[in-house]
Structure 1
Amino acid sequence: MKYLDTFSSFSVNDLGKARKFYEEILGLDVRDNPMGLLELHLSENKTVMVYPKPDHQPASFTVFNFVVADIEQAVDDLIRQGVTFEQYKGTIDTDAKGISRSEHGPAIAWFKDPSGNILSVIQGQG
């Protein structure tokens, strides 16, 4: 089987709040879809669909990762926008800002959208 394209999607409980968060806080290109969905345009060929679900239950895992050049700056910028980063102690440990630094992978910090979906900013290579 040959696929023509792929895309990812996730649900939210309020499209208006999702639009405001993804557009105004995260700075994404958010467009309406004729089917009543939101399209998050990440690049020319990458789109994520966001759909309303009245009985939405956020996943217990990260649904969306944003690779950034400078995690310190990204976290600071998002904190200034009112984003609160998750704090973890145990298997995963985060510092006071919410950044996990591991010798086994890149630095990463988790936060939630208005519907409780877990998102992250992760330090890119280079």
Structure 2
Amino acid sequence: MFADTRTFDSFAVDDLAQARTFYGQTLGIPVSDQHGLLVLHLADGRDTRVYQKPDYNPATYTILMFQVDDIQTAVGELTERGVRFERYDGMDQDERGITRSGPPFAAWFTDPAGNVLEVLQVPSGAVGG
């Protein structure tokens, strides 16, 4: 029934204005407003809706993963833009928050609402690369 139906991902935040600034300016993702929602125009034509939820609680899992060619560079640029990378107990992370126990190599950060985001570097030829 839905094999050829356009789909949209979505997630909640507690403040759409903060989300617009973070995703649009800090991360540099093209954004727009549609029907009272913030829309992230992600690569590959994948639009993701962001909505404000009154009784909001941050996701306790990674909601978006951004695949990069060079995680060291990506983490450096995000850090310069004010992004703080998370540290997790029991994970082997370097001084910048990057875990290299993979592949893939990964680092996690949160948006202003506390949702978990990830940058990851997948070696060429690997699944997802």
TM above 0.5, yes or no, is yes
Partner in structure 2 of residue 10 of structure 1: 11
Partner in structure 1 of residue 127 of structure 2: none
Q: What is the identity, as a one-letter code, of the residue corresponding to 2:117? A: L
In 2, Cα distance between equivalents of 1:96 and 1:54: 36
Q: CA deviation at 1:102?
A: 1.3
Q: What is the identity, as a one-letter code, of the residue corresponding to 1:94? A: Q
Q: What is the identity, as a one-letter code, of the residue corresponding to 1:100? A: T
Q: CA deviation at 1:110?
A: 0.2
In 1, Cα distance between equivalents of 2:44 and 2:100: 31
In 2, Cα distance between equivalents of 1:22 and 1:29: 8
Q: Deviations over 1:83-106 (max 9, x none)?
A: 00001231x221110101114x30
In 1, Cα distance between equivalents of 2:9 and 2:44: 15
Q: What is the identity, as a one-letter code, of the residue corresponding to 2:9? A: S
Partner in structure 2 of residue 32 of structure 1: 33
Q: What is the identity, as a one-letter code, of the residue corresponding to 1:95? A: D
In 1, Cα distance between equivalents of 2:51 and 2:17: 11
In 1, Cα distance between equivalents of 2:122 and 2:78: 17
Is structure 2 residue 112 aligned with structure 1 residue 114? yes
Q: Normalized against structure 1, the TM-score is what? A: 0.92
Identity of aligned residues (%): 49
Q: CA deviation at 1:111?
A: 0.1
For 2:99, what is the secondary structure of its paired residue? strand
Count residues with an aligned counterpart.
Answer: 123
Q: Alignment RMSD, CA only?
A: 1.2
In 2, Cα distance between equivalents of 1:9 and 1:25: 20
Structure 1 unaligned blocks of 5 or more: none
For 1:100, what is the secondary structure of its paired residue? coil
Q: Normalized against structure 2, the TM-score is what? A: 0.90
For 2:56, what is the secondary structure of its paired residue? coil
